[in-house]
Amino acid sequence: MQTIITASETSQISTRDRGLNYGDGFFTTAIVTHGQVEHWDYHKARLIECAQRLGFPALAFTPLETHISQQIASKVKAVLKIVITRGEGGRGYAPPSECNLTIIMSVLPYPKDYHTLTDTGVSLAISPIKLAIQPHLAGLKTLNRLEQVLIKNALQTQQSDDALVLDYNNNVIETSAANIFAIKNQKIFSPMLDECGIKGVFLQSLCDKLAIEFKRVSLSDLTQADAVFICNSLMKIVPVNRIGEHRFDHAHSQLLLKELLAKEA
C-alpha cells in the first residue's frame, strides 16, 4: 500500500514515519516544462532501483503518475520533488513486515539563478568534508543527506559557487548537488560511483548521447583536463570556470562540449 501526500503548509506526516526517524527512504527531483516532467523515464527507473535495493515493496506508479499529472498540468516551469519513505512501523531499526509507503510530492518554483548558470559558469572549492564509502548505498539518492548538509555548511566560508567532493581515498566523486565530468583530448570521463556518490538522472541521460568513460578520477585529472562540467536535472550542463586556484577558459569549454555533442548526434 502507499499513501500520497501533496506538500503544503497544512500537510501532516506521522511522527513515527521511518523517513523522519531513520532517513529510511529515497527521493528524486525533476524539472517540469509545460506540464511535462523532463526525463521522467529516468526518474522512474531511479525510484524503481532505489525501492529494489533498499528492500521496499514495488511502487504503484499508475496512481502516482495520475497525481503528478494533475499537480503539474498548468506549470510552465517548475520543480517536482518526490520523497518516498517506508512509512510507519517496525521495532527500532527493523522494518515492518508489511509497509504502507508514504509518498510526499512537492511542486516548487524553478530557481531563478539556474537560468544563467550555463552562461556564467561556476567556481568550485575543494570541500574539507569527504564522503564515506558504502557500496550498499552507492549511487542511490537516499534521505540520508547529512554529508551534503555538512558540505554546504563548510561551503559558506569557501567563497565559491559549489564544492568539489572527494571520498576518503581522495577520489573525485561529485559536487554538493551535481555530477561532474570532464573532457580531455576529445574524450569524456566521469568518476565511478560504485562506492559512494549519486548517479544523477541527467548524467545517465547524457550517456545516451555521449561516449562517457567512468573511472577513478583524481583532482589532478580534473585540473589537467581541457574542460570540466557539472550537471543535474535542474541546472543541466554548466561549465566549471575554476577549481581551487586552477582556471578554465569558459568559452573554450562551451565550444568543446558543443563539438562533441554535434559529433555524437
Catalytic residue among 38, 174, 175, 236: 174
88 assigned to active site: no
Q: Which of 242, 237, 234 is nearest to 260 (CA)?
A: 237
Give the phi and the psi of residue 105 in degrees, each rounded to 5.
-115, 130
Per the CB < 8 A criterion, the answer to whether 7 and 103 are in contact is no
Q: How far is CA 85 from CA 16, 23, 56, 98, 177, in A?
A: 11, 8, 9, 13, 21
In degrees rounded to 5, what are phi and psi of residue 154?
Answer: -65, -35
Rounding to the nearest 10 degrees, give the CA dihedral for residues 170, 171, 172, 178: -110
The question of whether 141 is a catalytic residue gets the answer yes
C-alpha–C-alpha distance, residues 146 and 175, integer Å? 14
Cα 250 to Cα 99: distance, rounded to the nearest angstrom: 50
36-45 long-range contacts, CB within 8 A, separation 24+: 36/72, 37/68, 37/72, 37/80, 38/233, 39/201, 39/202, 39/205, 39/233, 42/201, 42/204, 42/205, 43/82, 43/201, 43/233
Which one of the listed residues 28, 29, 85, 102 is annotated catalytic? 29
Catalytic residue among 28, 75, 85, 141: 141
- Kindly list the catalytic residues: 29, 141, 174
